[in-house]
Amino acid sequence: MADIIEILPAEASARQQAGAVLVDVREVHEQALGMARGALGVARASLEATPARWLPDPHAEVLLICQTGGRSAQAAATLQAAGYGRVASVAGGTTRWQAEGLPLDVPEGDLDFHERYSRQLRLPEVGPEGQRRLEAARVVLIGAGGLGSPAAYYLAAAGVGTLVLADDDVVDRSNLQRQILHTEARIGVAKVDSAAAALAALNPRTRIETHPLRVRADNVEALIATADVVIDGADNFAARYLLNDACVKLGKPLVYGAVHRFDGQASVFDAGRRRGQAPCYRCLFPEPPPPEAAPNCAEAGVLGIVPGVIGLLQATEAIKLVLGLGETLSGRLLHFDALRMRFRETRLPPDSDCPVCAPGRAFPGYIDYAAFCAGG
C-alpha cells in the first residue's frame, strides 16, 4: 500500500483528459448517485476478479477513484500485483472531486430521487431497485394519532409512494404531547388533513390519501384492498379486531402496535398470506379484555415518547415488509418497558383453532365489533 501513488482530483482530471483511464470502483448503487465525468464504473470486486476484461492494456495509465480514497488505493495495490505498472489512486475520492467543483455525470431524469434518498440508495440491500419498490408501495395507516404520527413521518421520509390515512378525529391540544404530526395552529382541524399538511411539507413525492372516517365493517375492505401493508394505529379494540379479520380475509400483512402508560407492544400479523405458519391478532387475543382492564390513553394516560418508540418500530416493520428484508416480528410479540428501558420478546405461534385464521377455516364474516369488544 505504501508504494501506491495518490494524486489529487484536479491532476486526475487533467491526466484523464490526456488519455488516462479513470475507473470508479464503488458499488453500483453508489455510482448511481453520480460519478466523475467520463469515469468507467466497475465495482471493485469485479475489477479485481477480472481486470483484463475492463483494462486490456496493462501498460495504460489507470486512475482509480472511490468515495473517499480508501477502496481505490486497495484496488490499485491489487492491480499493481496483477502487472499493471501505471496505476494511481485519487486522494479524497468522489467526495473531494465534487467539493473541488470538478464535473460529475449525474443520472439522467430524477435528480430529486437520487439526492433525497441518497443514504438509503447507498445500502446494497435497498439500492435504486429497492427505493423504486418503496416508491411504488401503498401503505394504509389506520389512525393519525400517537402511533400513526411517527410511523407516517418515517414512512414518508423513507419514500413510500402512497400513504392512506384514515381517522375520524380532529386535533385537540391534549394530542400534541405525543401526536407529533399536529401543531398548535391546527387544533380543531381534521387529523387526516393536519397529517397531510405535515407530510407534504416533509416529502412532496409521497402521495397522501385522506379518509376522515372511522373504520367499520362496511368500509374496511375498500380502504385496504390495494394495500401492500396495513398499519394498526388505532386506539380501540373494535378497530383492532376488525382490521385483523379484514387483513386475514384479504391476505394483507398487519403491523400491530399498542401503548399503555409506560409500556408498548408491537408485532406483525401475517396469517392472511401464511395460514398455519403465522399468527393473527386473534391468536394472541381470541377475546377482548374487559374495558376496565384496558383503558385507553385518555383514561389511563401515556408517556408521550412511548407511542413514538412503538410507531417507529411499526414503520420499520412496514419498510421491511415492502422490501422483503430481514426477519419481521411475525410470530413474535415485542414488549417495551420505558421505565426499565427493556425490550423482551414473547414467541407467538399460530392457533390451530383460531376462529379466523385456522387453516381451511372459511372466513366467518364480520361481526358487531363494538358490541363484541364491550362484552355485549
User: How many other C-beta atoms lie within 10 A of the C-beta of residue 74?
Assistant: 17
Cβ contact 248:271 at 8 Å: yes
Buried b (16+ CB within 10 A) or exposed e, 343-353: eeeeebebbee
pLDDT score recorded for residue 1: 46
In a domain, 150, yes or no: yes
Q: Which of 76, 108, 140 marks a domain boundary? A: 108
Looking at the structure of the chain, the number of domains it has is 2
Q: Which domain holds residue 136?
A: 121-373
Reduced to 3 states, what is the DSSP secondary structure of residue 336? Answer: strand
Cβ contact 32:74 at 8 Å: no
370 falls in which pLDDT band (50, 70, 90)? confident
In a domain, 210, yes or no: yes
Query: Would the pLDDT of 310 be above 90?
Result: yes
In a domain, 204, yes or no: yes
Query: Would the pLDDT of 136 be above 90?
Result: yes
In a domain, 173, yes or no: yes
Query: What does residue 162 show for φ and ψ, rounded to 5 degrees?
Result: -135, 125
Cβ contact 121:33 at 8 Å: yes
CA distance readout (Å), 186 to 99, 144, 198, 346: 42, 14, 10, 40
CA distance readout (Å), 328 to 113, 156, 229, 232, 256: 27, 20, 13, 16, 12
The reported pTM is 0.81
Strand order in the sheet with 40-41: 5-7, 87-90, 62-65, 21-24, 40-41
Are residues 209 and 354 located together in one domain of the fold?
Answer: yes
Are residues 83 and 141 located together in one domain of the fold?
Answer: no
CATH number of the domain within which 31 lies: 3.40.250.10
| Average model confidence (pLDDT) across the chain | 93
pLDDT score recorded for residue 241: 96
Dump pLDDT digits (tens) for 209-219: 999 999 999 99
Beta bridge partners of 68: none
349 falls in which pLDDT band (50, 70, 90)? very high
Give the whole-angstrom CA distance, residue 243 versus residue 116. 33
Give the whole-angstrom CA distance, residue 288 versus residue 294. 9
297 vs 145: which has the higher pLDDT: 145
In a domain, 115, yes or no: no
Give the whole-angstrom CA distance, residue 268 versus residue 195. 24
150 vs 301: which has the higher pLDDT: 150
Mean pLDDT value of segment 233-250 = 95
Residue 188, Ramachandran bin (φ over 0: left; ψ between -120 and 50: alpha; else beta): left
pLDDT score recorded for residue 162: 98
Cβ contact 99:91 at 8 Å: no
pLDDT score recorded for residue 76: 96
Query: What does residue 372 show for φ and ψ, rounded to 5 degrees?
Result: -60, -45
Give the whole-angstrom CA distance, residue 178 versus residue 176. 5
Are residues 15 and 98 located together in one domain of the fold?
Answer: yes
| Tally of CA atoms within 13 A in the half-sphere of 137 that contains its CB | 26
Are residues 225 and 94 located together in one domain of the fold?
Answer: no
Are residues 156 and 271 located together in one domain of the fold?
Answer: yes
Specify the residue for cell string 394505529.
Answer: 233
Vertex 235, ends 165 and 280: CA angle to 5°?
85
Query: Would the pLDDT of 111 be above 60?
Result: yes
Mean pLDDT value of segment 332-352 = 97
Query: Would the pLDDT of 298 be above 70?
Result: no
CA distance readout (Å), 156 to 159, 361, 362: 5, 37, 36
123 falls in which pLDDT band (50, 70, 90)? confident
Q: Among the listed ranges 21-30, 46-55, 261-270, which one has the minimum average pLDDT value? A: 21-30
Query: Would the pLDDT of 376 be above 60?
Result: no
Q: Amino acid identity, residue 227?
A: A
Q: What is the DSSP string of 265-288?
A: EEEEE-TTTSTTTS--HHHH-SSP
Residue 171 CB partners (closer than 8 Å, separation 6+): 179, 182, 186, 187, 188, 189, 190, 191, 194
Are residues 275 and 334 located together in one domain of the fold?
Answer: yes
Q: What is the distance between the terminal CA atoms of the chain, rounded to a whole angstrom?
A: 77
As a whole-number percent, the residues of the chain with pLDDT over 70 amount to 95
pLDDT score recorded for residue 288: 81
Mean pLDDT value of segment 344-352 = 96
As a whole-number percent, the residues of the chain with pLDDT over 90 amount to 84
Q: Which of 108, 130, 147 marks a domain boundary? A: 108
Q: Which of 108, 135, 170 marks a domain boundary? A: 108
126 vs 107: which has the higher pLDDT: 126
Mean pLDDT value of segment 135-158 = 97
pLDDT score recorded for residue 39: 96
Give the whole-angstrom CA distance, residue 154 versus residue 134. 12
Specify the residue for cell string 488516462.
Answer: 20
Are residues 329 and 259 located together in one domain of the fold?
Answer: yes
Are residues 203 and 93 located together in one domain of the fold?
Answer: no
Query: Would the pLDDT of 361 be above 70?
Result: yes
283 vs 106: which has the higher pLDDT: 283
Are residues 157 and 24 located together in one domain of the fold?
Answer: no
373 falls in which pLDDT band (50, 70, 90)? confident
pLDDT score recorded for residue 300: 72
Are residues 294 and 195 located together in one domain of the fold?
Answer: yes
